[in-house]
Amino acid sequence: MKNALVEIYTGLKSLFIGLGITIGQFFKPTVTVHYPHETLKIPARFRGHIELVRDPATGKPKCFVCKLCEKACPSDCITVEGIKPEGAKRKTVTNYRLDFTKCSLCGSCVEACRDGAIRFSREYNLASTNKEDYIMDLFKRLEAEGGTQNPTQPTAGGEPQPATATIPSTTNPHAGPASAQVQPATTAQVQLEAK
Residue (7 or 115) nearer to ligand SF4, CB? 115
Contact between 101 and ligand SF4 per CB under 6 A: no
Binding segment toward ligand SF4, per CB under 6 A, in 8-16, 19-27, 112-120, 129-137: 112-120
Contact between 109 and ligand SF4 per CB under 6 A: yes
| Strand ordering across the sheet containing 135-137 | 78-83, 92-99, 135-137
Contact residue for ligand SF4 among 60, 103, 148, 173 (CB under 6 A): 103
From CA 101, how far away is CA 75, in angstroms rounded? 10
Across 84-121, the runs of DSSP E, i.e. the strands, are 92-99, 118-120
Contact between 88 and ligand SF4 per CB under 6 A: no
From CA 151, how far away is CA 91, in angstroms rounded? 10
Contact residue for ligand SF4 among 112, 163, 167, 192 (CB under 6 A): 112
Contact between 66 and ligand SF4 per CB under 6 A: yes
Contact between 14 and ligand SF4 per CB under 6 A: no
The residues in 137-176 that bind ligand SF4, with binding defined as CB under 6 A, are none
Contact residue for ligand SF4 among 51, 54, 80, 172 (CB under 6 A): 80
From CA 85, how far away is CA 186, in angstroms rounded? 38
Indicate the residue type of 184: P
Contact between 77 and ligand SF4 per CB under 6 A: yes
According to DSSP, the β-strands at 118-120 and 92-99 are: unpaired
Binding segment toward ligand SF4, per CB under 6 A, in 113-121, 137-145, 148-156, 167-175: 113-121
CB 138 within 8 A of CB 51: yes
From CA 170, how far away is CA 182, in angstroms rounded? 6
Q: Is the peptide bond before 85 cis (omega within 30 degrees of 0)?
A: no
Q: What are phi and psi of 21, to 5 degrees?
A: -65, -45
Contact residue for ligand SF4 among 65, 136, 142, 188 (CB under 6 A): 65
Binding site for ligand SF4 (CB under 6 A): 50, 63-69, 72-73, 75, 77-78, 80, 103-109, 112-113, 115, 117-118
